[in-house]
């Protein structure tokens, strides 16, 4: 799927410099950044779900420890 991404002049220049430094294309760097962002969100959601389950499972113990 094609998509147009509008960057500020500053963002474009920073991305261009980073791509040049790494020897990769601007598109490769942008795609990697998007992949990393989506993975981080997925990990955060999993962490939140596990923390909630743990809090429910150990609610009585946590309450007693707080006393």
Please tell me the predicted confidence (pLDDT) of residue 59.
87
Q: How confident is the model at residue 20 (pLDDT cuts 50, 70, 90)?
A: very high
How many domains does the chain fold into? 1
Q: What is 7-65 written as a DSSP string?
A: --HHHHHHHHHHHHHHTS-HHHHHHHHHHHHHHHHHHHHHHHHHHHHHHHHTHHHHHHH
Whether residue 42 is contained in a domain is answered as yes
Domain that holds residue 57: 27-67
Which band of pLDDT confidence, cut at 50, 70 and 90, is reported for residue 30?
very high
Please check whether residue 7 lies inside any domain of the structure. Answer: no
- Considering the entire predicted model, what is its pTM? 0.63
Is 5 inside a domain boundary? no
52 pLDDT more than 90: no
């Amino acid at each position: 799927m094609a998509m147009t991404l509008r960057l500020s002049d500053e963002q474009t220049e920073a991305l261009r410099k980073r791509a040049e430094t790494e020897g990769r294309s601007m598109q490769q760097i942008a795609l990697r950044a998007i992949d990393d962002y989506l993975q981080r969100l997925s990990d955060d959601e999993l962490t939140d779900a596990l923390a909630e389950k743990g809090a429910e499972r150990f609610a009585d113990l946590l309450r007693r420890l707080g006393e």
